[in-house]
Amino acid sequence: MRTLYHYRMSPFSRRVRLALAHKGLSAELRDPRENPAFGEEARRLTALRTMPVLVDDGRVVADSTAIARWLDAAYPEGPALWPREDAELTLEAATLVDATLDLLVNLGTRYYALRDSPAWPGVKEELLGRARLAAGALAGRVTSVGRPTLARGGWSAADMAVLTMVLWCEGWAARAPTSPNIAQVTSLGFELPGALARWADAHRGRADVAAL
């Protein structure tokens, strides 16, 4: 039995669902926002206390990148999530995605309570500046490859990471009125580089993406 504890709109959770689909694997989906008991279950399973968490035949794996790595090791017969070809490029792109997301999420949620502190403007500009640099570098990478996918062999975990970040950022305006956390992230003033949205256009119509 395979179970995925996840948040439906989270870019980290979405990339794991895409990874499972790429491998042809199914999982029971448990979203704590639909049932708070699922959140308690997930927190008892791992010390990371983050989502997503995959349970596969008793094996517990947390963190979206770790899950994708583990899926390749556990199911080598399926299509590779981390192809050996262009490995450096795909790893760099995935790292830039995580840097951008972590900075934005931390500023808009964990650190946001400090916004009335005199130190807030400096902290905000420092971390927001890093997010902009990482996103700008990522835009440069996806543009420089001159193809729809980062790896020459096709769709990979890095593409999933980039696409789900783009979709998450593009969804802020619609979600902000009902999600305080998203409203806070939106208020930071971050703008997604246009090159990333244009790159994503080649993948929006994929069946697995539409199923997100």
Q: Which domain holds residue 169?
A: 87-206
pLDDT reported for residue 49? 85
- Percent of the chain's residues with pLDDT above 90: 96
The answer to whether 33 touches 7, Cβ cutoff 8 Å, is yes
pLDDT reported for residue 39? 94
Query: For the sheet containing 59-62, what is the strand order?
Result: 28-30, 2-5, 53-56, 59-62
Whichever domain contains 193, its CATH number is: 1.20.1050
At 7-46, the pLDDT tens digits run: 999 999 999 999 999 999 999 999 999 999 999 999 999 9
Half-sphere exposure of residue 9, counting CA atoms within 13 Å on the CB side? 13
Task: Let me know whether 195 and 100 are in one domain.
Answer: yes
Between residues 105 and 49, which one has the greater pLDDT? 105
Last residue of a domain, one of 74, 96, 125: 74
Rounded CA-CA distance 77/31 in Å is: 29
pLDDT reported for residue 1? 80
Last residue of a domain, one of 74, 103, 124: 74
The count of domains in the chain is 2
Task: Let me know whether 117 and 141 are in one domain.
Answer: yes
The answer to whether 55 touches 3, Cβ cutoff 8 Å, is yes
- Using a 10 angstrom Cβ sphere, with 0-12 exposed, 13-18 middle and 19 or more buried, the burial of residue 37 is exposed
